[in-house]
Chains A and B, each alone.
Chain A
Amino acid sequence: MKVEQISIFIENKSGRLAEITRILGEVGINIRALSLADTSDFGILRLIVNDVETANKVLKDKGFTVNKTEVVAVEVPDRPGGLGAILRTLDTEQINVEYMYAFVERCGGNAVIIFRFDETDKAIHALKANNFSVLAGERLYSM
């Protein structure tokens, strides 16, 4: 029930993001979701892609520092209060969110929230116990 995300270290210089997307585009990698965390000097680009292994390899070959992390994807109805319900559950269960980002599904009325927890297994267990829809990696990669 975990999703593989790749993270890439980028310096805060012009053209780095374009370079990464170009490299991925050339080998036919499709980006499902992304988030960019930035500081004044550097940034971390986090991606969910349709082919984790290939993306990891091509970026490493081009000299980027890349790592893979396990994150959790939760599907919620795309309506007011959807995210709030999840966060309340996490709060009650005392689970910390390291970071999160979200996107809306192309068809159907759902949103998908990507979470990075410090205790991933505990989080999945708690979410499922509260009847939230935790998505399998394959589902997300092919969405």
Chain B
Amino acid sequence: MYFNEEFETLPRQALEALQLKRLQAVVERVCANVPFYMESFGKAGVKSADIRSLEDLQRLPFTTKQDMRDSYPYGLFAAPLEEIVRIHASSGTTGKPTVVGYTHKDIDTWSELMARSFAAAGAHRGDIIHNAYGYGLFTGGLGAHYGAERLGASVIPISGGNTKRQIMIMQDFGSTVLTCTPSYSLFMAEEARAEGIDFKKLKLRVGIFGAEPWSEAMRGEIEEKLNLAAIDIYGLSEIMGPGVAIECIEAKKGLHIWEDHFIPEIIDPKTGRRLPQGELGELVITTITKQGIPLIRYRTRDITSISYEPCVCGRTHARISRMSGRSDDMLIIRGVNVFPSQIESILVAIEGVEPHYLLIIDRRDNLDTLEVHVEVDEQLFSDEIKVLQLLAKRIEKEIKDVLGVTCTAKLVEPKTIQRSEGKAQRVIDNRKL
């Protein structure tokens, strides 16, 4: 179901013409209003008049998270603070947070794109949307909230945490759509089971999960345990927040990125060169309608590929593949590139293994070591040592076979790996690099 049929199904030619017009306007605006861009375009020797086609976008320099930090807090804003009606910030686990500001029109665009995303996931008026994304500086909660209201659904602004209460409310209020991180959805299912509540009997029909990378195998597990259609959503605060891209429920194959507002590119993270359709690389996004803080060629650090193939749902917007990790989450273990999500896929494919795992990387005698911690639940447990040892060996072998990395599998007691109500921490890198 479409929310804005005209724009969601705009023929490619018209869509690209619109993109060019908007791109030229935004480049002109940042050149006039943002000292950072005046300087960086000047260094690169490009002027706004040089952008004559979408191809010319490649002549512009990238914007990075570091550039945002350097301009902390408002340096990259293109609108005066009087026009900013909302300020969000990303978690600043390393240093200062990155700050974004929205004008009235930005909030309006965001609500529309999030409403489109809900509709693409199969949500509609009359749905009860249980929004367990955190409300606050993080964009997840309010972003989904405004979109749900724009859609005309009933939104429960429950935010994250207090899992027992979440479960009670879902049960009593008859929630039909759940929005949260994928790992938190499984955590809720576990808690519900411990409370003797059958998640499958709840009215939930659709779950919209994002804010952390997950895998196709984890989708299978969530759909099984929660009895709903699990849809992948993508967004980041620098670009807007949730609702930059979403899977359609018809195909569940790639996330449509709303190209009338964003221009996506895939680049080789090392060389910065644009990669052809289908190749895995870093996603770069240019916002072409944002007023508060427009970003030109922002390096998202997310690894994906892009496809312009027509989709069964009828939307003409390109699709990016499920995120396979972050270019800065990418672990290089003995020279092999490893994304934690790849290990997760391997683990979940082994019968009885829960997607709760922890990777510990260390360096001993100048050699990288990888330890994979896996929880032993009743399904895996045996009273015979050899059965458990075979399980550990099997995990080690499958990881070696698929990724080419030698690891040690360590079986640990259930519930000892930290559960997170936000983003799960799955990697501990003890190497002093």
**Interface on A for B, CB 8 Å cutoff?**
5, 7, 9-11, 37, 39, 41-42, 44, 46, 63-67, 69, 98-99, 116
Tell me how many residue pairs across A and B have CB atoms closer than 8 Å: 51
Nearest chain A residue, comparing its CB with the CB of B412: A11
Residue pair A67, B413 in contact (C-beta under 8 Å): no
Residue pair B384, A99 in contact (C-beta under 8 Å): yes
The complex places the Cα of A125 from the Cα of B247 at a distance, in Å, of: 61
Question: Chain A contacts of B377 at CB under 8 A?
Answer: 65
A65 touches which one: B385, B389, B410, B413 (CB < 8 A)? B413
Question: Chain B contacts of A67 at CB under 8 A?
Answer: 378, 381-383
Residue pair B410, A116 in contact (C-beta under 8 Å): no
**Interface on B for A, CB 8 Å cutoff?**
376-378, 381-385, 388-389, 392, 410-416
The complex places the Cα of A41 from the Cα of B388 at a distance, in Å, of: 11
Question: Chain A contacts of B414 at CB under 8 A?
Answer: 63-65
How many whole Å from B371's CB to the nearest CB in chain A?
Answer: 10
7 contacts between A and B (CB under 8 A): A7-B383, A9-B411, A39-B385, A44-B385, A65-B381, A98-B384, A99-B384
Residue pair A42, B383 in contact (C-beta under 8 Å): no
Question: Chain B contacts of A39 at CB under 8 A?
Answer: 385, 389
Nearest chain B residue, comparing its CB with the CB of A13: B413
The complex places the Cα of A99 from the Cα of B413 at a distance, in Å, of: 23
Residue pair B385, A7 in contact (C-beta under 8 Å): no
Majority secondary structure of chain A interface residues (helix, strand, loop or mixed): strand
Say whether, besides A41-B410, A116-B383, A66 and B378 are in contact (CB < 8 Å). yes
How many whole Å from A136's CB to the nearest CB in chain B?
Answer: 21
8 shortest interchain CB distances as A-B pairs: A7-B383, A69-B383, A65-B381, A37-B385, A9-B376, A11-B413, A63-B415, A9-B381
Nearest chain A residue, comparing its CB with the CB of B384: A98
Question: Chain B contacts of A69 at CB under 8 A?
Answer: 383
Residue pair B416, A11 in contact (C-beta under 8 Å): yes
The complex places the Cα of A64 from the Cα of B413 at a distance, in Å, of: 7
Question: Chain A contacts of B389 at CB under 8 A?
Answer: 39
Residue pair B415, A42 in contact (C-beta under 8 Å): no
Question: Chain B contacts of A65 at CB under 8 A?
Answer: 376-378, 381, 413-414
The complex places the Cα of A66 from the Cα of B388 at a distance, in Å, of: 14
How many whole Å from B309's CB to the nearest CB in chain A?
Answer: 46
Residue pair A5, B383 in contact (C-beta under 8 Å): yes
Question: Chain B contacts of A37 at CB under 8 A?
Answer: 385
How many whole Å from A74's CB to the nearest CB in chain B?
Answer: 18
The complex places the Cα of A7 from the Cα of B411 at a distance, in Å, of: 16
Nearest chain A residue, comparing its CB with the CB of B377: A65
How many whole Å from B383's CB to the nearest CB in chain A?
Answer: 4
Nearest chain B residue, comparing its CB with the CB of A99: B384
The complex places the Cα of A67 from the Cα of B381 at a distance, in Å, of: 7
How many whole Å from A9's CB to the nearest CB in chain B?
Answer: 5
Residue pair A46, B385 in contact (C-beta under 8 Å): no
How many whole Å from B191's CB to the nearest CB in chain A?
Answer: 13
Nearest chain B residue, comparing its CB with the CB of A67: B381
Question: Chain B contacts of A66 at CB under 8 A?
Answer: 378, 381
Say whether, besides A39-B389, A65-B377, A44 and B413 are in contact (CB < 8 Å). no
Question: Chain A contacts of B384 at CB under 8 A?
Answer: 44, 98-99, 116
Question: Chain A contacts of B411 at CB under 8 A?
Answer: 9, 11, 41-42
How many whole Å from B187's CB to the nearest CB in chain A?
Answer: 15
Residue pair A10, B383 in contact (C-beta under 8 Å): no
How many whole Å from B186's CB to the nearest CB in chain A?
Answer: 17
A7 touches which one: B381, B412, B413, B416 (CB < 8 A)? B381
B413 touches which one: A5, A9, A46 (CB < 8 A)? A9
Given A39-B385, A65-B414, output 11 extra A-B contacts at Cβ < 8 Å. A7-B383, A9-B411, A41-B392, A46-B383, A63-B415, A65-B376, A66-B378, A67-B378, A67-B381, A67-B383, A69-B383
Question: Chain A contacts of B381 at CB under 8 A?
Answer: 7, 9, 65-67
How many whole Å from A36's CB to the nearest CB in chain B?
Answer: 11
Nearest chain A residue, comparing its CB with the CB of B413: A11
Question: Chain A contacts of B416 at CB under 8 A?
Answer: 11
Question: Chain B contacts of A41 at CB under 8 A?
Answer: 392, 410-411
The complex places the Cα of A116 from the Cα of B383 at a distance, in Å, of: 10
How many whole Å from A10's CB to the nearest CB in chain B?
Answer: 7
Question: Chain A contacts of B382 at CB under 8 A?
Answer: 7, 67
The complex places the Cα of A41 from the Cα of B408 at a distance, in Å, of: 11
Nearest chain A residue, comparing its CB with the CB of B409: A41
How many whole Å from B355's CB to the nearest CB in chain A?
Answer: 17
The complex places the Cα of A69 from the Cα of B384 at a distance, in Å, of: 10
How many whole Å from A8's CB to the nearest CB in chain B?
Answer: 9
Question: Chain B contacts of A42 at CB under 8 A?
Answer: 376, 388, 411-412
Residue pair B388, A44 in contact (C-beta under 8 Å): yes
Question: Chain B contacts of A116 at CB under 8 A?
Answer: 383-384
Question: Chain A contacts of B410 at CB under 8 A?
Answer: 41
How many whole Å from B140's CB to the nearest CB in chain A?
Answer: 30
How many whole Å from B9's CB to the nearest CB in chain A?
Answer: 52
The complex places the Cα of A63 from the Cα of B383 at a distance, in Å, of: 17
How many whole Å from A43's CB to the nearest CB in chain B?
Answer: 9
